[in-house]
Amino acid sequence: MNPTWVMSYPTGYETGTYLALDMGGTNLRVCQITLTEQKSEFDIIQSKYRMPEELKTGDADELWEYIADCLMQFIETHHGEASKQKLPLGFTFSYPATQNYIDEGILQRWTKGFDIAGVEGRNVVPMFENALAQRGVPIKLTALINDTTGTLIASAYTDTKMKIGCIFGTGCNAAYIEDCGSIPKLAHLNLPPDTPMAINCEWGAFDNEHKVLPRTPYDVIIDKDSPRPGQQAFEKMIAGLYLGEIFRLVMVDLHDKPETHMFTGQDISKLRKAYSLDSSFLSAIEEDPFENLSETADLFQTKLDINPSGAELELIRRAAELIGTRAARLSACGVAAISKKKGYKSCHVGADGSVFNKYPHFKARGAQALREILDWPEKTDPNEEDPIEILAAEDGSGVGAALIAALTLERVKKGNMHGILHPENFK
Protein backbone atom coordinates (compact mmCIF):
# COMPACT_ATOMS: atom_id res chain seq x y z
CA MET A 1 0.00 0.00 0.00
CA ASN A 2 2.30 2.75 -1.26
CA PRO A 3 1.21 6.40 -1.06
CA THR A 4 1.87 7.85 -4.51
CA TRP A 5 1.68 11.60 -3.79
CA VAL A 6 -1.03 11.97 -6.36
CA MET A 7 -3.23 14.13 -4.18
CA SER A 8 -6.35 14.81 -6.25
CA TYR A 9 -8.49 13.50 -9.06
CA PRO A 10 -8.07 15.42 -12.31
CA THR A 11 -10.75 18.00 -13.08
CA GLY A 12 -10.69 17.58 -16.86
CA TYR A 13 -9.40 21.14 -17.20
CA GLU A 14 -5.66 20.36 -16.92
CA THR A 15 -3.59 21.81 -19.79
CA GLY A 16 -0.01 21.83 -21.09
CA THR A 17 2.52 19.68 -22.95
CA TYR A 18 4.30 16.82 -21.21
CA LEU A 19 6.50 13.88 -22.01
CA ALA A 20 5.70 10.43 -20.72
CA LEU A 21 7.95 7.41 -20.55
CA ASP A 22 6.70 3.91 -19.85
CA MET A 23 9.19 1.21 -18.96
CA GLY A 24 7.00 -1.83 -19.42
CA GLY A 25 7.93 -5.47 -19.75
CA THR A 26 8.12 -5.70 -23.55
CA ASN A 27 8.42 -2.14 -24.81
CA LEU A 28 9.64 1.26 -23.88
CA ARG A 29 7.10 3.81 -24.92
CA VAL A 30 7.78 7.53 -25.16
CA CYS A 31 4.89 9.94 -25.70
CA GLN A 32 4.33 13.63 -25.96
CA ILE A 33 0.91 14.57 -24.68
CA THR A 34 -0.81 17.89 -25.00
CA LEU A 35 -3.74 18.38 -22.67
CA THR A 36 -5.86 20.81 -24.64
CA GLU A 37 -8.14 23.66 -23.55
CA GLN A 38 -11.13 21.46 -24.39
CA LYS A 39 -12.35 19.62 -21.28
CA SER A 40 -11.02 16.02 -21.08
CA GLU A 41 -9.33 16.24 -24.49
CA PHE A 42 -5.72 15.56 -25.45
CA ASP A 43 -3.38 15.09 -28.42
CA ILE A 44 -0.69 12.45 -28.33
CA ILE A 45 2.33 11.43 -30.39
CA GLN A 46 4.26 8.32 -29.44
CA SER A 47 7.17 6.07 -30.35
CA LYS A 48 7.85 2.56 -29.18
CA TYR A 49 11.28 1.03 -28.64
CA ARG A 50 11.88 -2.63 -28.04
CA MET A 51 13.01 -3.52 -24.53
CA PRO A 52 15.86 -5.94 -25.29
CA GLU A 53 15.45 -9.19 -23.29
CA GLU A 54 19.08 -9.10 -22.14
CA LEU A 55 18.55 -5.70 -20.51
CA LYS A 56 15.97 -7.18 -18.13
CA THR A 57 18.55 -9.32 -16.40
CA GLY A 58 21.65 -7.27 -17.22
CA ASP A 59 23.43 -4.34 -15.73
CA ALA A 60 21.69 -1.32 -14.18
CA ASP A 61 23.80 1.29 -16.00
CA GLU A 62 23.05 -0.28 -19.35
CA LEU A 63 19.35 -0.15 -18.61
CA TRP A 64 19.34 3.56 -17.73
CA GLU A 65 21.61 4.43 -20.65
CA TYR A 66 19.34 2.61 -23.07
CA ILE A 67 16.33 4.49 -21.73
CA ALA A 68 18.12 7.85 -21.92
CA ASP A 69 19.13 7.12 -25.53
CA CYS A 70 15.54 6.34 -26.51
CA LEU A 71 14.34 9.59 -24.93
CA MET A 72 17.04 11.57 -26.70
CA GLN A 73 16.11 10.02 -30.00
CA PHE A 74 12.44 10.88 -29.42
CA ILE A 75 13.20 14.49 -28.57
CA GLU A 76 15.52 14.91 -31.57
CA THR A 77 12.90 13.49 -33.90
CA HIS A 78 10.02 15.55 -32.59
CA HIS A 79 11.69 18.76 -31.47
CA GLY A 80 14.89 18.89 -33.51
CA GLU A 81 18.05 20.48 -32.19
CA ALA A 82 16.09 23.56 -31.13
CA SER A 83 14.69 22.08 -27.91
CA LYS A 84 16.58 23.91 -25.18
CA GLN A 85 13.79 24.23 -22.66
CA LYS A 86 13.56 21.24 -20.34
CA LEU A 87 10.35 19.29 -20.82
CA PRO A 88 8.45 17.91 -17.81
CA LEU A 89 8.33 14.11 -17.83
CA GLY A 90 6.08 11.61 -16.07
CA PHE A 91 7.93 8.30 -15.76
CA THR A 92 5.75 5.23 -15.47
CA PHE A 93 7.87 2.73 -13.59
CA SER A 94 5.55 -0.16 -12.86
CA TYR A 95 7.37 -1.94 -10.10
CA PRO A 96 6.91 -1.56 -6.35
CA ALA A 97 8.80 1.64 -5.61
CA THR A 98 8.14 3.54 -2.40
CA GLN A 99 6.92 7.01 -2.97
CA ASN A 100 7.31 8.43 0.45
CA TYR A 101 8.98 11.75 0.71
CA ILE A 102 12.03 10.58 2.56
CA ASP A 103 12.87 7.64 0.36
CA GLU A 104 10.94 8.52 -2.78
CA GLY A 105 11.58 6.14 -5.62
CA ILE A 106 13.24 3.29 -3.73
CA LEU A 107 12.67 0.08 -5.62
CA GLN A 108 11.45 -2.46 -3.10
CA ARG A 109 11.83 -5.44 -5.42
CA TRP A 110 11.79 -6.30 -9.07
CA THR A 111 8.64 -8.03 -10.29
CA LYS A 112 7.48 -9.46 -13.63
CA GLY A 113 10.67 -11.39 -14.37
CA PHE A 114 13.07 -8.44 -14.16
CA ASP A 115 16.28 -9.18 -12.30
CA ILE A 116 18.84 -6.38 -12.55
CA ALA A 117 21.50 -6.31 -9.87
CA GLY A 118 22.18 -3.18 -7.87
CA VAL A 119 18.75 -1.53 -8.19
CA GLU A 120 16.63 -3.14 -5.46
CA GLY A 121 16.70 -1.11 -2.26
CA ARG A 122 17.97 1.93 -4.14
CA ASN A 123 16.33 5.06 -5.43
CA VAL A 124 15.73 4.77 -9.17
CA VAL A 125 15.21 8.52 -9.61
CA PRO A 126 18.87 9.65 -9.29
CA MET A 127 20.03 6.70 -11.40
CA PHE A 128 17.66 7.76 -14.15
CA GLU A 129 18.49 11.45 -13.74
CA ASN A 130 22.24 10.75 -13.93
CA ALA A 131 21.81 8.95 -17.22
CA LEU A 132 19.77 11.91 -18.55
CA ALA A 133 22.37 14.41 -17.34
CA GLN A 134 25.29 12.46 -18.82
CA ARG A 135 23.69 12.56 -22.24
CA GLY A 136 22.32 16.09 -21.87
CA VAL A 137 18.71 14.97 -22.43
CA PRO A 138 16.61 18.14 -21.90
CA ILE A 139 14.09 16.68 -19.46
CA LYS A 140 13.07 17.31 -15.88
CA LEU A 141 11.55 14.35 -14.10
CA THR A 142 8.34 15.64 -12.57
CA ALA A 143 6.71 12.46 -11.30
CA LEU A 144 7.47 8.77 -10.88
CA ILE A 145 4.29 6.87 -11.53
CA ASN A 146 2.92 3.38 -11.15
CA ASP A 147 0.87 2.15 -14.13
CA THR A 148 -2.20 1.57 -11.95
CA THR A 149 -2.18 5.16 -10.69
CA GLY A 150 -1.74 6.41 -14.25
CA THR A 151 -4.66 4.25 -15.34
CA LEU A 152 -6.86 5.56 -12.54
CA ILE A 153 -6.05 9.21 -13.24
CA ALA A 154 -6.32 8.90 -17.04
CA SER A 155 -9.69 7.20 -16.71
CA ALA A 156 -10.97 9.72 -14.17
CA TYR A 157 -10.03 12.53 -16.60
CA THR A 158 -12.82 11.46 -18.93
CA ASP A 159 -15.20 9.70 -16.51
CA THR A 160 -15.91 11.06 -13.03
CA LYS A 161 -17.36 7.69 -11.90
CA MET A 162 -13.86 6.12 -12.10
CA LYS A 163 -12.64 5.23 -8.62
CA ILE A 164 -10.19 2.34 -9.14
CA GLY A 165 -7.46 1.75 -11.72
CA CYS A 166 -6.30 -1.82 -12.41
CA ILE A 167 -3.72 -3.55 -14.53
CA PHE A 168 -4.32 -7.15 -15.56
CA GLY A 169 -1.33 -7.76 -17.81
CA THR A 170 2.15 -9.21 -17.38
CA GLY A 171 1.67 -8.19 -13.74
CA CYS A 172 -1.48 -7.46 -11.79
CA ASN A 173 -2.20 -4.57 -9.43
CA ALA A 174 -4.57 -1.70 -8.57
CA ALA A 175 -4.71 1.87 -7.30
CA TYR A 176 -7.45 3.90 -5.63
CA ILE A 177 -7.78 7.15 -3.72
CA GLU A 178 -7.73 7.05 0.08
CA ASP A 179 -8.17 9.82 2.69
CA CYS A 180 -4.91 10.64 4.48
CA GLY A 181 -6.75 10.25 7.81
CA SER A 182 -6.99 6.51 7.07
CA ILE A 183 -3.29 6.06 6.26
CA PRO A 184 -1.38 5.28 9.48
CA LYS A 185 2.01 5.44 7.78
CA LEU A 186 1.38 9.13 6.94
CA ALA A 187 0.05 10.10 10.39
CA HIS A 188 3.32 11.90 11.24
CA LEU A 189 2.65 14.45 8.47
CA ASN A 190 -0.50 15.71 10.21
CA LEU A 191 -2.28 16.33 6.93
CA PRO A 192 -5.98 17.22 7.13
CA PRO A 193 -7.72 13.81 7.42
CA ASP A 194 -9.79 14.34 4.29
CA THR A 195 -6.72 15.05 2.08
CA PRO A 196 -6.93 12.66 -0.88
CA MET A 197 -3.98 10.38 -1.61
CA ALA A 198 -3.76 7.80 -4.38
CA ILE A 199 -2.52 4.46 -3.09
CA ASN A 200 -0.65 1.97 -5.24
CA CYS A 201 -1.87 -1.23 -3.58
CA GLU A 202 0.81 -3.58 -4.96
CA TRP A 203 -1.79 -6.25 -4.38
CA GLY A 204 0.31 -8.69 -6.37
CA ALA A 205 2.05 -9.25 -3.03
CA PHE A 206 -1.21 -10.15 -1.26
CA ASP A 207 -0.96 -13.36 0.75
CA ASN A 208 2.79 -13.78 0.38
CA GLU A 209 2.45 -15.56 3.74
CA HIS A 210 0.14 -18.14 2.10
CA LYS A 211 -2.42 -17.84 4.86
CA VAL A 212 -5.51 -17.17 2.76
CA LEU A 213 -5.53 -18.60 -0.74
CA PRO A 214 -5.42 -22.33 -1.45
CA ARG A 215 -2.46 -23.17 -3.66
CA THR A 216 -2.02 -25.97 -6.14
CA PRO A 217 1.27 -27.86 -6.51
CA TYR A 218 1.71 -25.88 -9.74
CA ASP A 219 1.57 -22.55 -7.87
CA VAL A 220 4.23 -23.88 -5.54
CA ILE A 221 6.54 -24.75 -8.45
CA ILE A 222 5.96 -21.39 -10.19
CA ASP A 223 7.02 -19.62 -7.02
CA LYS A 224 9.99 -21.85 -6.26
CA ASP A 225 11.45 -21.49 -9.77
CA SER A 226 10.86 -17.72 -10.05
CA PRO A 227 13.64 -15.13 -9.61
CA ARG A 228 11.93 -13.96 -6.38
CA PRO A 229 10.47 -16.94 -4.46
CA GLY A 230 8.04 -15.96 -1.71
CA GLN A 231 7.01 -12.73 -3.43
CA GLN A 232 4.03 -11.68 -5.57
CA ALA A 233 1.96 -14.68 -4.44
CA PHE A 234 -1.38 -13.27 -5.66
CA GLU A 235 0.12 -12.02 -8.93
CA LYS A 236 1.58 -15.45 -9.68
CA MET A 237 -1.97 -16.87 -9.80
CA ILE A 238 -3.40 -14.15 -12.04
CA ALA A 239 -0.93 -12.36 -14.24
CA GLY A 240 -0.23 -13.01 -17.90
CA LEU A 241 3.39 -13.82 -17.21
CA TYR A 242 2.35 -17.01 -15.40
CA LEU A 243 -0.91 -18.32 -16.91
CA GLY A 244 0.74 -20.26 -19.74
CA GLU A 245 3.32 -21.67 -17.36
CA ILE A 246 0.69 -22.90 -14.89
CA PHE A 247 -1.02 -24.69 -17.78
CA ARG A 248 2.25 -26.19 -19.00
CA LEU A 249 3.05 -27.52 -15.52
CA VAL A 250 -0.39 -29.15 -15.34
CA MET A 251 0.14 -30.86 -18.70
CA VAL A 252 3.61 -32.15 -17.80
CA ASP A 253 2.37 -33.42 -14.44
CA LEU A 254 -0.53 -35.28 -16.05
CA HIS A 255 1.84 -36.87 -18.53
CA ASP A 256 4.27 -37.90 -15.81
CA LYS A 257 1.54 -39.63 -13.78
CA PRO A 258 1.23 -42.92 -15.68
CA GLU A 259 -2.29 -43.61 -14.35
CA THR A 260 -3.70 -40.60 -16.22
CA HIS A 261 -2.45 -41.79 -19.64
CA MET A 262 -1.97 -38.23 -20.90
CA PHE A 263 -0.01 -38.03 -24.17
CA THR A 264 1.10 -41.62 -23.56
CA GLY A 265 3.95 -42.65 -25.85
CA GLN A 266 4.42 -39.14 -27.23
CA ASP A 267 7.61 -37.13 -27.10
CA ILE A 268 6.80 -34.18 -24.84
CA SER A 269 10.31 -32.68 -24.81
CA LYS A 270 9.10 -29.35 -26.23
CA LEU A 271 6.42 -29.14 -23.56
CA ARG A 272 9.07 -29.62 -20.89
CA LYS A 273 10.69 -26.27 -21.62
CA ALA A 274 9.83 -23.78 -18.84
CA TYR A 275 7.91 -20.67 -19.90
CA SER A 276 7.59 -21.94 -23.47
CA LEU A 277 3.83 -21.28 -23.49
CA ASP A 278 2.57 -17.76 -22.89
CA SER A 279 -0.94 -16.66 -22.05
CA SER A 280 -1.80 -16.21 -25.74
CA PHE A 281 -1.50 -20.02 -26.07
CA LEU A 282 -4.14 -20.41 -23.38
CA SER A 283 -6.29 -17.73 -25.00
CA ALA A 284 -6.15 -19.61 -28.29
CA ILE A 285 -7.34 -22.82 -26.60
CA GLU A 286 -10.22 -21.01 -24.91
CA GLU A 287 -11.14 -19.35 -28.19
CA ASP A 288 -11.23 -22.53 -30.28
CA PRO A 289 -14.75 -22.33 -31.81
CA PHE A 290 -14.94 -25.93 -32.98
CA GLU A 291 -16.78 -28.71 -31.20
CA ASN A 292 -13.94 -31.14 -31.93
CA LEU A 293 -11.34 -28.57 -30.79
CA SER A 294 -9.48 -28.91 -34.07
CA GLU A 295 -7.71 -25.57 -33.65
CA THR A 296 -6.35 -26.71 -30.30
CA ALA A 297 -5.18 -29.94 -31.93
CA ASP A 298 -3.36 -27.91 -34.61
CA LEU A 299 -1.81 -25.70 -31.96
CA PHE A 300 -0.43 -28.67 -30.03
CA GLN A 301 0.83 -30.19 -33.24
CA THR A 302 2.61 -27.12 -34.60
CA LYS A 303 3.94 -25.69 -31.37
CA LEU A 304 4.69 -28.83 -29.37
CA ASP A 305 4.78 -31.78 -31.80
CA ILE A 306 2.06 -33.44 -29.73
CA ASN A 307 -1.08 -35.06 -31.18
CA PRO A 308 -3.75 -35.05 -28.48
CA SER A 309 -6.66 -37.50 -28.60
CA GLY A 310 -10.26 -36.29 -28.43
CA ALA A 311 -10.44 -36.92 -24.68
CA GLU A 312 -7.11 -35.19 -24.14
CA LEU A 313 -8.34 -32.18 -26.09
CA GLU A 314 -11.35 -31.91 -23.81
CA LEU A 315 -9.13 -32.05 -20.78
CA ILE A 316 -6.83 -29.40 -22.29
CA ARG A 317 -9.77 -27.08 -22.82
CA ARG A 318 -11.08 -27.64 -19.31
CA ALA A 319 -7.66 -26.98 -17.76
CA ALA A 320 -7.37 -23.71 -19.70
CA GLU A 321 -10.87 -22.69 -18.57
CA LEU A 322 -10.06 -23.38 -14.95
CA ILE A 323 -6.81 -21.43 -15.03
CA GLY A 324 -8.43 -18.48 -16.84
CA THR A 325 -11.47 -18.54 -14.56
CA ARG A 326 -9.43 -18.63 -11.37
CA ALA A 327 -7.41 -15.62 -12.58
CA ALA A 328 -10.55 -13.61 -13.39
CA ARG A 329 -12.28 -14.47 -10.13
CA LEU A 330 -9.24 -13.67 -7.98
CA SER A 331 -8.93 -10.34 -9.81
CA ALA A 332 -12.54 -9.58 -8.94
CA CYS A 333 -11.74 -10.27 -5.26
CA GLY A 334 -9.26 -7.40 -5.33
CA VAL A 335 -11.75 -5.00 -6.88
CA ALA A 336 -14.44 -6.10 -4.41
CA ALA A 337 -12.05 -5.60 -1.47
CA ILE A 338 -11.32 -1.97 -2.39
CA SER A 339 -14.98 -1.28 -3.09
CA LYS A 340 -16.00 -2.69 0.28
CA LYS A 341 -13.27 -0.83 2.14
CA LYS A 342 -14.30 2.47 0.56
CA GLY A 343 -18.02 1.71 0.76
CA TYR A 344 -18.44 2.14 -3.00
CA LYS A 345 -21.87 0.79 -3.90
CA SER A 346 -21.57 1.92 -7.49
CA CYS A 347 -18.58 3.11 -9.49
CA HIS A 348 -16.45 2.48 -12.56
CA VAL A 349 -13.15 0.64 -12.50
CA GLY A 350 -10.67 1.38 -15.30
CA ALA A 351 -8.68 -1.68 -16.36
CA ASP A 352 -5.85 -2.16 -18.81
CA GLY A 353 -3.32 -4.84 -19.69
CA SER A 354 -3.06 -7.75 -22.09
CA VAL A 355 -5.04 -10.21 -19.97
CA PHE A 356 -7.93 -7.78 -19.51
CA ASN A 357 -7.94 -6.73 -23.16
CA LYS A 358 -7.25 -10.04 -24.86
CA TYR A 359 -7.96 -13.05 -22.65
CA PRO A 360 -11.32 -14.58 -23.63
CA HIS A 361 -14.18 -14.31 -21.10
CA PHE A 362 -11.95 -12.54 -18.55
CA LYS A 363 -14.36 -9.59 -18.29
CA ALA A 364 -17.53 -11.68 -18.05
CA ARG A 365 -16.00 -14.04 -15.49
CA GLY A 366 -14.79 -11.10 -13.40
CA ALA A 367 -18.19 -9.42 -13.55
CA GLN A 368 -19.94 -12.64 -12.50
CA ALA A 369 -17.55 -13.01 -9.55
CA LEU A 370 -18.20 -9.40 -8.43
CA ARG A 371 -21.93 -10.14 -8.53
CA GLU A 372 -21.44 -13.17 -6.27
CA ILE A 373 -19.06 -11.47 -3.83
CA LEU A 374 -21.11 -8.27 -3.51
CA ASP A 375 -24.47 -10.10 -3.53
CA TRP A 376 -26.10 -8.22 -6.38
CA PRO A 377 -29.49 -9.54 -7.47
CA GLU A 378 -29.65 -11.17 -10.93
CA LYS A 379 -30.19 -8.65 -13.74
CA THR A 380 -33.72 -8.28 -15.01
CA ASP A 381 -32.60 -6.53 -18.20
CA PRO A 382 -29.39 -7.85 -19.83
CA ASN A 383 -28.44 -4.32 -20.96
CA GLU A 384 -28.54 -2.99 -17.42
CA GLU A 385 -25.16 -1.76 -16.07
CA ASP A 386 -23.71 -3.58 -13.07
CA PRO A 387 -23.41 -1.33 -9.98
CA ILE A 388 -19.61 -1.69 -10.20
CA GLU A 389 -18.38 -2.04 -13.79
CA ILE A 390 -14.84 -2.90 -14.82
CA LEU A 391 -14.29 -1.00 -18.07
CA ALA A 392 -11.45 -0.55 -20.54
CA ALA A 393 -9.28 2.28 -19.21
CA GLU A 394 -7.84 5.33 -20.87
CA ASP A 395 -4.10 5.29 -21.62
CA GLY A 396 -2.54 5.39 -18.16
CA SER A 397 1.14 5.51 -18.96
CA GLY A 398 0.66 8.21 -21.59
CA VAL A 399 -2.23 10.50 -20.73
CA GLY A 400 -2.23 9.39 -17.08
CA ALA A 401 1.47 10.16 -16.68
CA ALA A 402 1.00 13.59 -18.31
CA LEU A 403 -1.94 14.36 -16.03
CA ILE A 404 0.02 13.35 -12.95
CA ALA A 405 2.90 15.57 -14.06
CA ALA A 406 0.36 18.39 -14.52
CA LEU A 407 -1.33 17.77 -11.15
CA THR A 408 2.06 17.68 -9.43
CA LEU A 409 3.22 20.96 -11.03
CA GLU A 410 -0.10 22.52 -10.08
CA ARG A 411 -0.01 21.56 -6.42
CA VAL A 412 3.68 22.49 -6.07
CA LYS A 413 2.77 25.90 -7.47
CA LYS A 414 0.24 26.17 -4.64
CA GLY A 415 2.96 25.32 -2.10
CA ASN A 416 2.18 21.62 -1.48
CA MET A 417 5.69 20.11 -1.48
CA HIS A 418 4.79 16.69 -0.04
CA GLY A 419 6.59 13.82 -1.74
CA ILE A 420 8.77 16.17 -3.82
CA LEU A 421 12.34 14.89 -3.94
CA HIS A 422 13.97 17.70 -5.94
CA PRO A 423 12.18 21.04 -5.45
CA GLU A 424 14.66 22.61 -7.89
CA ASN A 425 13.05 20.63 -10.72
CA PHE A 426 9.90 22.69 -10.24
CA LYS A 427 11.41 26.15 -10.56
334 near ligand GLC, judged by CB under 6 A: no
CA distance 33 to 135: 23
Show contacts with ligand GLC in window 117-146 (CB under 6 A).
Answer: 146
111 near ligand GLC, judged by CB under 6 A: yes
Cite the active site residues: 94, 109, 147
CA distance 279 to 240: 6
169 near ligand GLC, judged by CB under 6 A: yes
11's CB contacts (< 8 A; 6+ apart) are none
Show contacts with ligand GLC in window 270-299 (CB under 6 A).
Answer: none
Size of the site for ligand GLC (CB under 6 A): 16
171 near ligand GLC, judged by CB under 6 A: yes
14 near ligand GLC, judged by CB under 6 A: no
96 near ligand GLC, judged by CB under 6 A: yes
Q: State which residue, 146 or 331, has the beta carbon closest to ligand GLC.
A: 146
CB of 151 to ligand GLC, least distance (A): 9
CB 280 within 8 A of CB 320: no
Q: Show the beta-strand stretches assigned E in 99-156.
A: 106-107, 139-145
CA distances from 40 to 12, 136, 147, 352, 398 (A): 5, 33, 20, 19, 14
Give the Cα-Cα-Cα angle 210, 216, 217 (nearest 5 degrees).
105
Among 14, 120, 147, 178, binds ligand GLC (CB under 6 A): 147
Query: For 307, what's the count of Cα atoms within 13 Å in the CB-facing half-sphere?
Result: 2
Q: State which residue, 197 or 241, has the beta carbon closest to ligand GLC.
A: 241
| Coil vs helix vs strand at 155 | helix
Question: Which residue has the closest beta carbon to ligand GLC?
Answer: 171
CB of 167 to ligand GLC, least distance (A): 4
Among 32, 92, 94, 155, binds ligand GLC (CB under 6 A): 94
Cβ atoms within 10 Å, residue 37: 7
CB of 304 to ligand GLC, least distance (A): 29
95 near ligand GLC, judged by CB under 6 A: yes
Taking residues 191 to 210 in sequence order and writing x for each that binds ligand GLC by CB under 6 A, - otherwise, the string is: -----------x-x------
What angle, rounded to 10 degrees, do the helices at 294-304 and 279-287 form? Answer: 150
CB of 15 to ligand GLC, least distance (A): 28
C-alpha closest to that of 163 among 339, 382, 368: 339
**Segment (H or E) for 177:** strand 172-179
Give the Cα-Cα-Cα angle 369, 396, 71 (nearest 5 degrees).
145
396 near ligand GLC, judged by CB under 6 A: no
Among 99, 173, 231, 331, binds ligand GLC (CB under 6 A): 173
* Site for ligand GLC, rule CB under 6 A: 94-96, 111-112, 146-148, 167, 169, 171-173, 202, 204, 235
